[in-house]
Structure 1
């Protein structure tokens, strides 16, 4: 997924279920200068999404007990 975030940043947002951010990222990465910020943004959001998912799983596990 990191490979996807770096080379096709807008597509990674669609896989994470964030279509509006994906469209905004696509508009940003259309320019050559905007490619780097779009890639960094996608990587940051991916790690944030992954961390939120882990927190949700942890809370669900605690609530079961």
Structure 2
């Protein structure tokens, strides 16, 4: 999470979203754009974590139904 706030573009790059990271870097270059870039990266990170958690729950429910 700290990486997403301090270096938002790098947060996307580490997760394999290269094009999104480049767009974020362009936004981040401006002083005004730093805050929206940091918020975008943090929200994206939280959404990715929630998606993984949901997938894990879905697999667990499917496995219990068998």
Which structure would you say has the larger Rg? 2
Q: Deviations over 1:29-57 (max 9, x none)?
A: 01111101000100110111110010011
Q: Normalising to structure 1: TM-score of the pair?
A: 0.89
* Aligned: 1:61 with 2:66: no
Structure-1 separation of matches of 2:61 and 2:21: 33
Instruction: For structure 2, list consecutive stretches of 5 or more residues without a partner in the other structure.
Output: none
Q: CA deviation at 1:20?
A: 1.4
Alpha carbon RMSD of aligned pairs, Å?
A: 1.0
Stretches of 4+ aligned residues off by more than 6 angstroms = none
Question: 1:10-33 CA distances to partner (integer Å, 9 max, x unpaired)?
Answer: 011122222111110011001111
What's the offset of the Cα at 1:60?
1.2
What 5-or-longer segments of structure 1 have no aligned partner?
Answer: none
Q: Partner residue of 1:14?
A: 13
Normalising by structure 2, what TM-score? 0.88
Aligned residues: 64
User: Partner residue of 2:50?
Assistant: 51
